[in-house]
Amino acid sequence: MKRRVFLGGAAAAVAAPVLAQAQAPGPVRVRLDTADGPIVLELYPDKAPITAGNFLRYVDEKRFDGATFYRASKVPNAPEFGLVQGGVQNDPARVLKPIAHEPTTKTGLSHTNGAISMGRTSPGTATSDFFICVGDMTYMDADPKQPGDNLGFAAFGKVVEGMEMVQKILAAPTSPTAGEGVMKGEMLAQPVKIVTARRLPA
């Protein structure tokens, strides 16, 4: 006959924080070594566990090694602001299954300067490709007051070192004819290689 074990009093008080720590890990830092220099990200799996966890899987399985930053989308009349996009671009040998969407209304994060977020078409289609904001772009946050697809994009961290590298990528020349749809004219003439992507020690 199996014995049932019940935690009470001091034992329960000790167990609760341990469980909370296991379910809500703190920030995780990742270093992207690019051909132009390093970019250090701080990810928030406690706030965006699905999205941050997906990105970390690409890192841990070295799927981002050899990927590129391939897009620089500049704000009209203010080209120092915009976003840079990178990832494996649906390479069948690297891409993983799409993940569930985590809107900013759920995570509490926002698309402010340096935020990293997932590219997508409809909600629930994000895979590997991500973007980094240069300047505040809070219009990319979820907004339930807006009609249609109002779930925004899934922010899950921010740049903590190397923002000058991101700005350099944004300023790089683009091809006027490459790309389709909203990306036309925004594809980098010379994509910037992500040499390695690795977790940093806690």
| Residue 195 maps to a domain | yes
The secondary structure element, H or E, covering residue 129 is: none
How far is the C-alpha of 157 from the C-alpha of 13, rounded, in Å?
A: 32
Q: What are the phi and psi torsion angles at 31 (to 5°)?
A: -105, 120
| Residue 17 maps to a domain | no
Which amino acid is residue 160, in one-letter code? V
| Residue 82 maps to a domain | yes
| Residue 20 maps to a domain | no
| Residue 11 maps to a domain | no
| Residue 9 maps to a domain | no
Domain carrying residue 161: 25-199
Q: How far apart are the first and last CA of the chain?
A: 44
Name the residue with tokens 């923002």.
163
Rounded alpha-carbon distances, angstroms, from residue 21 to 15, 28, 94, 196: 10, 14, 31, 29
CATH of the domain at 71: 2.40.100.10
Q: How many domains does the chain have?
A: 1
What global pTM score does this model have? Answer: 0.86
pLDDT tens digits for the chain (202 residues)?
433 333 333 333 333 334 333 445 789 999 999 999 999 999 999 999 999 999 999 999 999 999 999 999 999 888 899 999 999 998 999 999 999 999 999 999 999 999 999 999 999 999 999 999 999 999 999 998 888 889 999 999 999 999 999 999 999 999 877 767 777 789 999 999 999 999 999 8
Name the residue with tokens 């991101």.
166
| Residue 146 maps to a domain | yes
Q: Provide Rg for the chain, Cα atoms.
A: 19
Q: What is the per-residue burial (b if ≥16 Cβ within 10 Å, else e) of 5-22?
A: eeeeeeeeeeeeeeeeee
Quick one: pLDDT at residue 190? Answer: 96
| Residue 7 maps to a domain | no
